[in-house]
């Protein structure tokens, strides 16, 4: 039972680019993740949980603010997040909570805390305008230099930039838990945020060896010809250099094998974090949340990484654990990461969270957690995309089993996930779906003007690109803990090149991922 003498602690464990579809608790039969599975079995699993923006920085800022990224002016991975945006941490600090961040959050701009009192590690990716996209370039703009070498050169390694980072996050996260138990009188909100299983897909041999290579499953939906893709998919295909490289079946299998090894790596770290809570006597009075910022296509439809609204990219694990208070079970209703902020505020107040300064776009999951249902709740979720690779604003709405996708200037897409879980049949023009299509399109466009948004975003891109190029990506705004943080992690260089040279042994061509 929870300790009734003090407010509950909250531990948010976040991973990067983990699709819900690879976890055993979401039905995968190959991946080994016993600690996350146990957390799910004892907790509440949201089966249809979505990110609200399938890209790192906007997804995270949306989650922590409880508002859609476009409503707070975060367009992409190089948009400055304003200090004037209230976050969950601001509310919690006003309620007497200690707030600490260990690991990745990909804040862009001079404010690298956004309500956290303390960061325990640096971040792993640029905090400035280095990755600003340019929609004027049209098809194939790749500000990060991303390509498919993270797939074609997937496999094992002894060390990599991501292994280094996550080892550091685990160490300081566990140490912080002991420090909280020893020195902190206040309840805490601690975020421990890892970078795996983000591409490139490389894992240590001991995690690769957890799997028989013959057991690794190939994508359910094979690669599509470019002429058969919808327009948004075509944009992202080019943004990932899919038109320049076609992974072989062996390379696809290697990539998924390494990805599964990365998931198992994280699972072990989750187990160590939970054990630290138990060792410190904090486990019983700590609500634990496990999630990811977005998913990964993992070769489905011939697509990789994120930035799409299809299930592998947009659906995320969402597990809440607090025995004695949360009612264990599985929830099929649609929810999203933007619900996290109001939910945490209800967790720490017993369902009586404060009125927000500005209305949340998310809605609390408290009744789901404590009663197992929330019958009057609308299960509509919204996901948007205005980041690198796109050429215009895009948005997705799911209600019930129907998913509607809007791509500005291009035909609508509608999928009936109950009948078509692989999203292969666009029923947007089918008479039986006309009413729900129009209904969801109205929801999509309510308070969201794509033409106005496109003009605003292009103006923002011009300003940021000018500053970036005039100053050689200065300032970096990097949150530095150790003197060599800017050398060990990605600050201004392209992510692909930096990650490649951090890998040991080096990959092909002396480590230069192409």
So which residues are the catalytic ones? 56, 106
C-alpha radius of gyration, the chain, whole number: 21
* Closest C-alpha among 460, 459, 396 to residue 423: 396
Are the C-beta atoms of residues 440 and 91 closer than 8 Å to each other?
no
Are the C-beta atoms of residues 310 and 424 closer than 8 Å to each other?
no
3-state secondary structure of 271: helix
Are the C-beta atoms of residues 46 and 290 closer than 8 Å to each other?
no
Quick one: which H or E segment has residue 38?
Answer: helix 34-42
Q: Parallel, antiparallel, or unpaired for β 381-385 and 118-119?
A: unpaired
Between the CA atoms of 225, 420, 413 and 55, what dihedral angle is there, to the nearest 10 degrees? -80
Collect contacts of 406-415 with beta carbons under 8 A, ≥24 apart: 406/441, 406/444, 406/445, 406/450, 407/230, 407/231, 407/232, 408/450, 408/451, 408/454, 410/230, 410/231, 410/232, 411/230, 411/231, 412/437, 412/441, 413/230, 414/440
First to last CA, the chain: 53
């Amino acid at each position: 039972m929870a300790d009734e003498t003090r407010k509950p602690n909250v531990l948010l464990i976040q991973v990067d680019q983990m699709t819900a579809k690879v976890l055993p608790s979401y039905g995968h039969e190959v991946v080994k993740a016993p600690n996350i599975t146990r957390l799910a079995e004892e907790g509440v699993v949201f089966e249809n949980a979505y990110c609200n923006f399938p890209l790192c920085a906007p997804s995270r800022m949306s989650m922590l603010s409880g508002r859609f990224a476009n409503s707070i002016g975060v367009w992409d991975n190089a948009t400055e997040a304003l200090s004037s945006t209230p976050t969950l941490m601001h509310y919690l600090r006003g309620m007497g909570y200690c707030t600490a961040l260990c690991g990745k959050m990909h804040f862009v701009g001079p404010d690298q805390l956004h309500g956290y009192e303390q960061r325990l590690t640096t971040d792993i990716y640029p905090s400035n305008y280095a990755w600003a996209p340019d929609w004027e370039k049209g098809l194939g703009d790749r500000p990060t230099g991303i390509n498919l070498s993270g797939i074609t050169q997937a496999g094992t390694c002894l060390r990599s930039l991501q292994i280094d980072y996550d080892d550091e996050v685990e160490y300081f996260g566990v140490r912080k838990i002991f420090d909280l138990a020893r020195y902190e009188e206040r309840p805490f909100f601690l975020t421990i945020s890892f970078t795996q299983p983000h591409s490139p897909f490389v894992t240590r041999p001991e995690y690769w060896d957890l799997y028989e290579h013959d057991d690794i499953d190939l994508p359910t939906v094979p690669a599509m010809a470019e002429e058969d893709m919808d327009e948004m998919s075509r944009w992202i295909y080019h943004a990932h250099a899919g038109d320049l490289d076609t992974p072989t079946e062996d390379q696809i299998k290697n990539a998924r094998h390494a990805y599964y090894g990365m998931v198992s790596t994280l699972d072990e770290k989750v187990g160590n974090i939970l054990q630290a809570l138990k060792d410190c006597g904090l486990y019983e009075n700590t609500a634990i949340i496990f999630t990811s910022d977005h998913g990964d296509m993992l070769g489905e439809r011939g697509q990789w990484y994120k930035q799409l609204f299809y299930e592998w990219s947009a659906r995320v694990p969402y597990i809440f654990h607090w025995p004695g208070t949360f009612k264990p079970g599985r929830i099929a209703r649609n929810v999203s990461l933007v619900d996290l902020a109001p939910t945490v505020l209800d967790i720490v107040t017993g369902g009586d969270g404060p009125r927000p300064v500005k209305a949340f776009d998310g809605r609390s999951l408290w009744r789901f957690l404590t009663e197992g249902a929330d019958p009057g709740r609308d299960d509509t979720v919204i996901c948007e995309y205005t980041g690198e690779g796109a050429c215009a604003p895009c948005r997705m709405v799911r209600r019930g089993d129907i998913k509607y996708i809007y791509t500005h200037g291009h035909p609508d897409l509608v999928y009936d996930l109950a009948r078509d879980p692989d999203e292969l049949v666009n029923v947007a023009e089918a008479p039986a779906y006309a009413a729900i299509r129009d209904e969801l399109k109205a929801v999509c466009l309510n308070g969201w003007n794509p033409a106005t948004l496109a003009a605003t975003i292009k103006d923002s891109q011009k300003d940021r690109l000018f500053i970036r190029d005039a100053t050689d990506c200065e300032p970096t705004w990097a949150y530095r803990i150790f003197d060599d943080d800017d050398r060990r992690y990605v600050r201004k260089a392209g992510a692909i090149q930096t990650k490649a040279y951090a890998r040991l042994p080096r990959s092909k061509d002396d480590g230069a991922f192409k």
